[in-house]
Amino acid sequence: MLPILRSRQLAQRCLTQNKRLLTPYSFATDRHGSMLNRASPPPIQVLLTESAGRGVFATRKIESGELIHTAKPVVSHPLLSSIDKVCYYCLKNTPKGSNFEAQKVLFCSEECREQAKGFYEVEKEADWSAFIAHCRTRSLKYPFLAKRLACMVISGVTSADSLNVFQPALLSPQIISQYPYLPKQNSVTNDISQMEEELDLLRCALEGSGMKTEHLSFLTIEWYTGVLSRIRINAFRIELAGGSSYEDLLTSAYASVESEASVGNAVYMLPSFYNHDCDPNTHIVWVENVDAKLKALRDIEKGEELRICYIDASMDHDARQNILSSGFGFKCSCPRCLSND
C-alpha cells in the first residue's frame, strides 16, 4: 500500500473540488448486495498518495465479496458492433425491434430514452456518416465518447470542462503515440493532424445540422486533444455479465479486458481514482448495464488502499509491464511485479 501524504489540506482541496460529482454515485451494501442505509456513504475515501496521485482507501474493514459502491458514467457510448444490440443510453442488452426503438438506435425503456433526450436531440439532427466512416476505417472507439460529450455540452447536460478533473491534464507525446491507428514511424505532428481531421468531421456534422457557431465555440483542437487524452487513460471497456451471480463474477475477476462481452466504453468519476495492482483487492463489474459495481475480492482492512487491475492479470510479468508502460504511462511496482511473478 502506498503511503498517504501527510498534507491533508491538499487532499481536502481535491475532494472539495469534486464533492458534487462524487457523492451521487455511491451507496453502501452488505456482502450480498443489500442496501444497508440509503443515507450511508460508501466505506471509502479519496486521498493523495506519494507516487500515484489520488487513491481510494477503506474507512472501515470491507468483507470479501462486499459490494462497495456503484457508479454511473460521466459519458458512455456503445461500440459500433453493438449499436443494434444494446440500449443507446445504458448499454443494456436490448432485443432489436424494441418498442422504444428510435431511428437507428435502441433504447431499453422510456426512462433511458428520456435520460438520453438532451444529447440525442442534438445528435440525431446531424449526419454522422463521414465521422463514423473515419472511425470505422481506423478501428477507433474513443472519438465516439468525445462526440457524445460534445453533444452533451451543446445540450446543456454537462460543461465543456467536465473531464478536467481527470488526469492527464495535457496530451503528452507518449499518449499521442498510442493513438491506435497510426504507424509507429509517424510523427507527433501527424498524430495531431489526424485528430484535427476528426475534429473537423465532428464540427462539420454539427454545423450541417444548423447548429449556431456560438454553440460550437468550445470545439477547439485543445479541447478535443485534452478530452481524448483523458478518455484514453480513464475509459473502461464495458463487459456485461447479465444473469451471473456475484459469486460467479468473482471467479472470473481476472478475465481479459479484451473479452468478447465488451459492448461499449465509459468514463466514470470515482472508479477513475482507483489505482492499479496486478494482484488487486477490488474488481469492477457490469451486471446488466453501464452502471459499474465495485466489489471486494478479499477482506480489506481499514486504511488499506483499494486497487483494481487495469489489464489482463493472467499475463506474465514482462507482458504486463510492457502494456502498463506503453498504454498507461507507468511502471508497475506492486508486490507481484516486484517479486517478478
Domain ranges for the chain, please list them: 8-72+238-315, 116-234
Do residues 140 and 181 touch, judged by C-beta distance below 8 A?
A: yes
What is the pLDDT averaged over residues 111-117? Answer: 95
251-309: per-residue pLDDT in tens?
444 443 344 568 999 999 999 999 999 999 999 999 999 999 999 999 999 999 999 99
Q: What's the pLDDT score for residue 330? A: 84
**C-alpha cell read off for 88:** 443507446
Instruction: Provide the pairing of β-strand 275-276 with 305-308.
Output: parallel
Residues 6+ apart with CB under 8 A from 189: none
Nearest to 234 by CA among 145, 131, 317: 145
Instruction: Give the C-alpha separation, 162 to 27, whole Å.
Output: 23
* DSSP state letters, 139-204: T--HHHHHHHHHHHHHHTSS-TTTTTTSSPSS--HHHHTT-TTS-TT--HHHHHHHHHHHHHHHHH
Cα–Cα distance measured from residue 270 to residue 290, given in angstroms and rounded to the nearest whole number: 14
Is omega for the bond preceding 168 within 30 degrees of 0, making it cis? Answer: yes
- Provide the pLDDT for residue 327: 76
pTM (2 d.p.) = 0.79
Give yes or no for residue 90 having a pLDDT over 60: yes
CATH number of 8-72+238-315: 2.170.270.10
**Which pLDDT score, from 0 to 100, does residue 264 have?**
96
Instruction: Tell me if 205 sits within 8 A of 131, measured CB to CB.
Output: yes
β-strands 73-78, 67-71: how paired?
Answer: unpaired
Q: How far apart are CA 124 and CA 134, in angstroms?
A: 18
Q: Of 57-61, 237-241, 323-327, where does the model show the most confidence?
A: 57-61
The answer on pLDDT for 144 being more than 90 is yes
AA identity, residue 42: P
Cross-strand pairs, 194:
none
- Greater model confidence, 191 or 11: 191
Q: How many CA atoms lie within 13 A of 175 on its CB side?
A: 18
CB-based burial, 52-74: b 16+ in 10 Å, e otherwise: eebbbbbeeebeebbbbbbbbbb
Give me the pLDDT at residue 35, please: 43
| 18-42 pLDDT, tens digit each | 333 333 333 444 444 444 445 578 9
Share of the chain above pLDDT 70, in %: 73
Nearest to 264 by CA among 291, 288, 239, 232: 239
